[in-house]
Amino acid sequence: MAIGDVWRLTIKGLIGADDNQNVVHYQVTSGGGSPSQDAEALTDAWESGAMADYLACLSSVYSIETLSVRGVTHATAGFDLTVVGAGAIAGEVAPTQTSALINLRTAKFGRSFRGKTYLPALAESAVSNGSITPTEVGLIDAYMLSAGTIVSASPVVASFSLGVWSRELLEMNLVTGHFVSQFAATQRRRKPGVGA
């Protein structure tokens, strides 16, 4: 049965001419079908349920191109959907090394059960002196609300809920809340053995 299956959704787009990828995880919470049907259904659900609110947060310099789903619990299943859209906020993009930081909370305590995601391509008008404007925070909150639970109609009826996947524990925990940082953040990757 498909309920409980975990999927990785990669939202691929361009900021000007630069590639950008944003990765989130979803779990099938009701309905569903075969793994290949569920992979396609997740792209349908996100496109119809969350994409408009996602683009409403971003600069018009951003364009979305592909929704790419790969199985976490079904490593050989996947589906790519070509989509078309652009950010809704007119004007230049804020410096590309800065993003909105969205902290994800689950019902469990501890570092392994929390997550975060960085929302790219903020408009310059959405950031003032390093702070994200209250209007932009409201747009991001609206996106997170619509992306929290999404429902597909095709090729099968299924509900998907946003979650935090722990690679260390191999465990998925559904998101129960989020917090948008008021300050623009920089995503930095640490190398093994470097940093705290």
Distance, CA of 128 to chain centre: 24
pLDDT for 187: 65
Q: What is the DSSP letter of 2?
A: -
pLDDT for 123: 95
Q: What is the DSSP letter of 84?
A: E
Kindly provide the residue ranges of all beta strands, DSSP E only, lying in 138-196, ordered along the sequence.
149-152, 158-166, 171-180
pLDDT for 196: 40
The whole-angstrom separation of Cα 121 and Cα 103 is 18
The runs of H, that is alpha helices, within the chain are: 35-49, 51-56, 134-148
Write down the pTM of the prediction. 0.92
pLDDT for 130: 86
pLDDT for 1: 44
In 3D, which of 115, 125, 116 has the Cα closest to residue 87? 125
Could you read off the pLDDT of 34-73 as tens digits, one per residue? Answer: 999 999 999 999 999 999 999 999 999 999 999 999 999 9
The answer to whether 152 touches 45, Cβ cutoff 8 Å, is yes
Helix axes 134-148, 35-49, angle to 10 degrees: 150
pLDDT < 70: residue spans in the chain? 1, 187-196
Domain-wise residue ranges, the chain: 6-180
Cβ burial, residue 158 (10 Å; 0-12/13-18/19+)? buried
